[in-house]
Structure 1
Amino acid sequence: MRQAERGIFDLRRGLPILLKDSSGDILVQAVEGLNDESLAALQSLAGSKAQLVLSRHRMAAMGHKEAPDVVALSLATLPDSLGLRELAWTRGAQLPDVTALSQGNRAHRAALRLLGRAQLVPAAVACGVAADQADAVAAEVSSGNLLAVDAAEALRLCDSGPGGLARISEARVPLAEAENSRFVLFREADGVHEHVAIVIGEPAQWPDAVPVRLHSSCLTGDLFGSLRCDCGEQLRRGVAAINAQGGGVLLYLSQEGRGIGLANKLRAYGLQDQGLDTIDADQVIGFSKDERNFRIAHQMLDQIGVAKVKLLTNNPSKVEALQRAGINVVAREAIYGQVTAQNQRYLQTKANRHGHWLHDLLGEQDEPESAEPERLPAPGAVSGA
């Protein structure tokens, strides 16, 4: 899958790649970073007019609720690069005259999945390679100017999630809330993401059910104390809670903005300032309500030697993901931040649309107020496990 992994980096650098498939080869390039010159060069090399490839989430945001997962649009008049960017993620944009709206094929699906792994806006321009341009495209591949990626291989890479996780380095890092702490860094095989396990206390002295928290990175909240979310408070309270219970593990996962990356998170913040909630804002940019893959957490815990946990979380998806992966989650304990005027709507959206267990915090309905952790069934007894 090495070529597919390289494809992620080329797309992120603003370069085109060739996606090879039995249904026909296509040249694809991210709309993000596209300019008029690169658009013209792409069409010239392929010998065909570009299509715009969008996700069903972006199509739904433009009023096309029944669109398939991936849509290939043939526009009567192809906009310039600025116009394509507006169609890709601007709120209120409407499709111009469309000569054909079709379900994307395997190569189109691969293009959007690779863009997602690159944390770019899931929108691409795609040009089918004309027969009379096949030799020219092959020459570009042979010269090393153009990367060729098998579409099926790209999809296998994206479907497999993080694989080949490597334990790279570690060091003692005393924390204000937990002086006896070690940071263990893991790197994914594709080289895009690095994650940190904060090992608190002495593993030999941990409780039978190890206190564990999965914390997705949040630059704005964790580092700068943003009032838009409760992430920073949850992070520090999570470390303190694990330390108070005899030690355990906090997994700091490189999943900014629920997996869409910092650039897209800031775009979503701009849309939230226009009145959208966090889920609808992500949809406008073309993403689902949660792009994270928690399988990485299972791999990290496995390498640390943790199989039975008490999970500190308000998110049912994290419980279910670890249960499905074979981690014995025997109990769950809430971990709250502070409700403020700035983050209340965000927390309400997480409770009402993500299903997070926050109603007690928000005072919206009765939930157990006991300080005792919630006991959970064994993995096989969980619905969907």
Structure 2
Amino acid sequence: MHQVERAIFDLRRGLPIVLNDGPAQVLVQPVEGIDDSTLERLLDKAGQAPALVVSRHRLALLGGSVDAEAARLPLSDTMPLDVRALNALAFGDDPQRDRRFGAPQPAGLADRAALALMRRALLIPAAITARVSDAARPRIRQLIEEGTLLSVAADKAVGCFEASAGLLKRVSEAQVPLAEAQDSRFILFREPDGLREHVAVVIGDIDAWRDAVPLRLHSACLTGDLFGSLRCDCGEQLRNAVADIAEMGGGVLLYLAQEGRGIGLANKLRAYALQDTGLDTVDADKTLGFGDDERHYRAAVDMLAALGIERVQLLTNNPLKLQALRDGGIEVADRQALYGRLTDHNLRYLSAKSKRAGHWLDDVLDGHSSGRA
């Protein structure tokens, strides 16, 4: 796990890493942030022709398909390869204009591991991969030994999301009175790679809680929660959830570091720009190579275990949250809807969540919200 964590930080810094798949070595470079000189050095180190690894969502926009979650696109050696072309292929808003790749191939283990690391690092899910030739192996080995290149087992990297399960650390806590719930305690948890920190907001007297503890899983939304963005209803849902939990005698709100349905703030803003061209929230994420919802709730299950909570009343409109808790061994005794206001600014967003992601929003979209306005 330690090497995988280091790999995530190297990739975020724009550095290449080596993934080992049995005897094969594969150089991996994130597409995001790459420049022409970095690309040239990468290809020189590997000694073999490169490929672009993308998700099946991005591949579909490029006009291809594979029976796999990711694809390897051999890059053409008949045309000069530059960063502009790579960016157009990997996350450009007009992916059909540049066809400098061969027939799509199902991604191998190292390729899938590369994409998993990109997602974990909150980067665009696209990577340049190049197999290390026999002639280049001595030089690569030297760079690894001197610490210039990090070497990671591909089978460890491909499971980088699952590897942190059960390793969440309870770091610090303090009383933080809130406008909607003055008796509130914040408990901070940190994931082992140090990238994400989650907060459990414990409301009211634990001894007076209901048998089924009122619970809200709230994914962080900087634009909505802090700045009051009109593009979503997240800020209102957050404050309404705290008030509702307090009115029910107390419970827990888990504030999860999963900005933009798990794609991170940088990619969320990219998706917003795509939405301004006419795409809905789901299609914008897919244009960038992401799935409908990239969130994971293992951290939430671990936080509930640390708090001794096994049975909950869940405040949500999202069926995936309910199923994730049940899959994690948490009994969901009941569900309560939670709404913000429907406005001209967030109507398209909420409609897409309902129609494309199956969220239970019929009441609010029909103009008959039973929750707070």
- Normalising by structure 2, report the TM-score: 0.96
- CA–CA distance in structure 2, aligned partners of residues 23 and 344 of structure 1: 53
- CA–CA distance in structure 1, aligned partners of residues 335 and 362 of structure 2: 16
- CA–CA distance in structure 2, aligned partners of residues 162 and 255 of structure 1: 16
Q: How does 1:35-74 map to 2 (within 5 A)?
A: 35-66=35-66, 68-74=68-74
For structure 2, the residue ranges without an aligned partner over 5 or more in a row are: none
- Please state whether the residue corresponding to 2:339 is helix, strand or coil: coil
Q: State the partner residue of 2:91.
A: 89
Checking the alignment, whether the CA contact within 8 Å between 1:75 and 1:100 is kept in structure 2 is no
Checking the alignment, whether the CA contact within 8 Å between 2:19 and 2:154 is kept in structure 1 is yes
Checking the alignment, whether the CA contact within 8 Å between 1:27 and 1:127 is kept in structure 2 is yes
Q: State the partner residue of 2:147.
A: 144
1:123 aligns with 2:126: yes
Checking the alignment, whether the CA contact within 8 Å between 1:162 and 1:189 is kept in structure 2 is no
Question: How big is the shift at 1:97?
Answer: 4.2
- Please state whether the residue corresponding to 1:349 is helix, strand or coil: helix
Question: How big is the shift at 1:209?
Answer: 1.0
Question: How big is the shift at 1:66?
Answer: 4.5
Q: State the partner residue of 1:236.
A: 239
- Please state whether the residue corresponding to 1:322 is helix, strand or coil: helix
Checking the alignment, whether the CA contact within 8 Å between 2:337 and 2:371 is kept in structure 1 is no
- Please state whether the residue corresponding to 1:111 is helix, strand or coil: helix
Checking the alignment, whether the CA contact within 8 Å between 2:32 and 2:124 is kept in structure 1 is yes
Question: How big is the shift at 1:161?
Answer: 5.2
Provide the identity percentage: 53
Checking the alignment, whether the CA contact within 8 Å between 2:11 and 2:29 is kept in structure 1 is yes
1:176 aligns with 2:206: no
Checking the alignment, whether the CA contact within 8 Å between 2:224 and 2:230 is kept in structure 1 is yes
- Please state whether the residue corresponding to 1:149 is helix, strand or coil: strand
- CA–CA distance in structure 2, aligned partners of residues 79 and 318 of structure 1: 43
1:98 aligns with 2:67: no
- Please state whether the residue corresponding to 2:102 is helix, strand or coil: strand
Checking the alignment, whether the CA contact within 8 Å between 1:121 and 1:285 is kept in structure 2 is yes
How many residues are aligned here?
A: 369
Question: How big is the shift at 1:68?
Answer: 3.0
Checking the alignment, whether the CA contact within 8 Å between 1:196 and 1:253 is kept in structure 2 is yes
Question: How big is the shift at 1:248?
Answer: 0.4
- Please state whether the residue corresponding to 2:33 is helix, strand or coil: coil
Match of residue 365, structure 2, among 362, 366, 370: 362
* Amino acid aligned to 1:83: A
Q: State the partner residue of 2:217.
A: 214
Q: State the partner residue of 1:201.
A: 204
Ranges of 4+ aligned residues in structure 1 off by more than 6 Å: none
Q: State the partner residue of 1:317.
A: 320
Checking the alignment, whether the CA contact within 8 Å between 2:245 and 2:252 is kept in structure 1 is yes
Checking the alignment, whether the CA contact within 8 Å between 2:164 and 2:192 is kept in structure 1 is no
- CA–CA distance in structure 2, aligned partners of residues 329 and 68 of structure 1: 33
Q: State the partner residue of 1:302.
A: 305
Checking the alignment, whether the CA contact within 8 Å between 1:75 and 1:96 is kept in structure 2 is no
- Please state whether the residue corresponding to 1:156 is helix, strand or coil: coil
Checking the alignment, whether the CA contact within 8 Å between 1:61 and 1:284 is kept in structure 2 is yes
- CA–CA distance in structure 2, aligned partners of residues 361 and 260 of structure 1: 26
Match of residue 346, structure 2, among 322, 329, 343: 343
1:5 aligns with 2:8: no
Query: For each residue in 1:283-315, what CA deviation from the matched residue of structure 2 results, as whole angstroms up to 9, or x when unmatched?
Result: 000000000011211110110111111000000
Query: For each residue in 1:19-75, what CA deviation from the matched residue of structure 2 results, as whole angstroms up to 9, or x when unmatched?
Result: 011262110110001000100011111112321111111011223244632111112
- CA–CA distance in structure 2, aligned partners of residues 262 and 139 of structure 1: 37
Checking the alignment, whether the CA contact within 8 Å between 1:30 and 1:124 is kept in structure 2 is yes
Checking the alignment, whether the CA contact within 8 Å between 2:200 and 2:254 is kept in structure 1 is yes
- CA–CA distance in structure 1, aligned partners of residues 34 and 184 of structure 2: 45
- CA–CA distance in structure 1, aligned partners of residues 286 and 216 of structure 2: 27
Query: For each residue in 1:305-357, what CA deviation from the matched residue of structure 2 results, as whole angstroms up to 9, or x when unmatched?
Result: 11111000000111111111111110000110000000001001111111111
Query: For each residue in 1:186-220, what CA deviation from the matched residue of structure 2 results, as whole angstroms up to 9, or x when unmatched?
Result: 00111111000000011011111110000000000
1:188 aligns with 2:198: no
Q: State the partner residue of 1:377.
A: none
* Amino acid aligned to 2:2: R
- CA–CA distance in structure 1, aligned partners of residues 137 and 232 of structure 2: 51
Query: For each residue in 1:78-102, what CA deviation from the matched residue of structure 2 results, as whole angstroms up to 9, or x when unmatched?
Result: 5301221111111222241433421
- CA–CA distance in structure 2, aligned partners of residues 90 and 307 of structure 1: 45
Change (3 A) 1:104 1:370: closer
* Amino acid aligned to 1:85: N
- CA–CA distance in structure 1, aligned partners of residues 149 and 22 of structure 2: 19
Checking the alignment, whether the CA contact within 8 Å between 1:36 and 1:81 is kept in structure 2 is yes
- CA–CA distance in structure 2, aligned partners of residues 227 and 64 of structure 1: 36
- CA–CA distance in structure 2, aligned partners of residues 78 and 279 of structure 1: 33
